[in-house]
């Protein structure tokens, strides 16, 4: 049988560097740092995915008393506040009285001046904080300034910017608590977050011509989000992990997987041939019971030039396993830069 080698490990020291850097004082510390590296990476990836964020890339740098984390993420549509029956706001005043406001724009704007906190709450999901603990946070002053400077917390397209800022603050506060518990409060943790999908203005001028071929997918739930995410995969480097996680999430949601693979190939073909593309080829392999058939098979999607065996090529590789009602799927992706 053929022995497969991870392309990332094969290129370390040539055109790739280690994502985790540390200084070991004893030989016994090497497996400890390796264990911490894997656990922190897996936790951050699961934590972000649970809250509607996808991990793009990460790095860990250890010093004598500080742990520096560099995390880049992609905000999916599941994270945004939407106009639905399951969304409501909770207003808390100085006497800790709660008031629920749902789909009432005027009432929210009138009560923001007398409220001291605004907490987005979903009925069908677990609460991130209890109200008492939420009010005792050290970042409460920043939250109050945020509410006062951007008072338009309505439930429409214009409220996404302010609401997402508030929600990201509360989400990442819990991440710091868990990391402190994992390190036994022995390290000063510094996390640098970077959102890769801040500006999506490319859709305004390219949607009419270049993306006209994707109009047959207009009734599918993955068209808009998939086009935006694939654009950032083509435009940014080290995006193989982001592509793999996106495919894994879609395989859990949709049943017509053959249609999704057709969209994936056509969208990647359009984006790679564009002027802003920084990659020259993508190869994807998905193995499992596709479309729920009784026998497992594999699907190969190859777009552009993918020289896997050339060590000098700038290649990024990622793989994962996803489970759903039809069984398990293995997903592999190779992304070759220009």
Check residue 127 and give its pLDDT: 37
Indicate the domain borders of the chain. 7-78+172-195, 87-155, 202-337
Q: CA distances (Å), 181 to each of 57, 62, 178, 185, 219, in order? A: 23, 17, 5, 6, 45
Contact assessment for residue 301 and residue 269, using Cβ atoms and an 8 Å cutoff: no
Check residue 282 and give its pLDDT: 92
The two structure tokens encoding residue 169: 């603050």
User: Which residue has 């086009």 as its token pair?
Assistant: 227
To the question of domain 7-78+172-195 being in CATH 3.30.300.20, the answer is yes
Contact assessment for residue 76 and residue 52, using Cβ atoms and an 8 Å cutoff: yes
The two structure tokens encoding residue 316: 């990024």
Q: Which fold has domain 202-337?
A: Ribosomal protein S3 C-terminal domain (3.30.1140)
Q: What does pTM read for this prediction? A: 0.70
Helix axes 257-272, 240-253, angle to 10 degrees: 150
Can you point out the beta strands (E) in 140-296? 188-195, 279-288
Nearest to 233 by CA among 94, 333, 143, 95: 333
Return the sign of the alpha-carbon dihedral for residues 195, 198, 199, 202: positive
Contact assessment for residue 73 and residue 54, using Cβ atoms and an 8 Å cutoff: yes
Sheet containing strand 87-92, strands side by side: 98-101, 87-92, 117-122
Classify each residue of 36-66 as buried b or exposed e, where b means 16 or more C-beta atoms within 10 Å of its C-beta.
Answer: bbeebbeebbebbbebebbbbbbbbebeeee
Cα–Cα dist 244/251, whole Å: 11
pLDDT in tens, 2-57: 677 888 888 888 888 888 888 888 888 888 888 888 899 889 888 888 888 888 88
pLDDT tens digits in sequence order for the chain, 338 residues long: 667 788 888 888 888 888 888 888 888 888 888 888 889 988 988 888 888 888 888 899 988 888 888 888 888 877 754 434 344 445 555 555 555 544 443 443 343 333 333 333 332 333 333 333 433 443 434 433 333 333 333 333 333 344 455 555 666 777 888 888 888 888 888 888 888 877 654 455 455 456 677 777 878 888 888 888 888 888 888 889 999 999 998 888 887 788 889 889 988 888 888 887 888 899 999 998 888 888 888 999 999 888 877 888 888 899 999 988 888 899 999 999 88
Cα–Cα dist 61/124, whole Å: 38
41: left (phi over 0), alpha (psi -120 to 50) or beta: alpha
């Amino acid at each position: 049988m053929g022995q497969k080698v991870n392309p990332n490990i094969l290129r370390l020291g040539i055109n790739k560097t280690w994502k985790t850097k540390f200084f070991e004082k004893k030989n016994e510390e090497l497996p400890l740092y390796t264990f911490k590296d894997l656990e922190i990476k897996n936790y951050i990836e699961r934590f972000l995915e649970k809250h509607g964020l996808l991990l793009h890339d990460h790095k860990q740098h250890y010093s004598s008393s500080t742990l520096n984390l560099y995390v880049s993420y992609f905000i999916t549509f599941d994270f945004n506040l939407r106009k639905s029956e399951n969304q409501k706001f909770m207003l808390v005043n100085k006497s800790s009285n709660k008031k629920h406001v749902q789909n009432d724009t005027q009432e929210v704007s009138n009560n923001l001046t007398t409220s001291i906190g605004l907490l987005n709450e979903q009925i069908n999901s677990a609460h991130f904080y209890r109200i008492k603990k939420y009010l005792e946070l050290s970042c409460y002053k920043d939250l109050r300034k945020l509410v006062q400077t951007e008072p338009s917390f309505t439930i429409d397209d214009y409220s996404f910017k302010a609401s997402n800022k508030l929600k990201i603050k509360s989400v990442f506060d819990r991440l710091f608590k868990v990391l402190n518990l994992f390190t036994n409060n022995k390290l000063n943790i510094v996390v640098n977050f970077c959102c890769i999908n801040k500006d999506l203005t490319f859709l305004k001028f390219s949607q009419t011509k270049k993306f006209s071929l994707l109009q047959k997918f207009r009734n599918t739930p993955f068209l808009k989000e998939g086009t935006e995410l694939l654009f950032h995969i083509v435009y940014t480097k080290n995006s193989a992990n982001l592509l793999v996680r996106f495919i894994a999430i879609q395989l859990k949601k949709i049943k017509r997987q053959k249609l999704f693979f057709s969209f994936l190939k056509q969208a990647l073909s359009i984006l790679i041939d564009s002027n802003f593309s920084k990659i020259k080829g993508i190869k994807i392999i998905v193995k499992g019971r596709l479309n729920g058939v009784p026998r497992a098979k594999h699907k190969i999607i190859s777009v552009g030039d993918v020289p896997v065996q050339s060590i000098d090529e700038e290649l990024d590789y990622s793989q994962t396993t996803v489970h759903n009602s039809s069984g398990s799927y293995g997903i592999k992706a190779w992304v070759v830069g220009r």
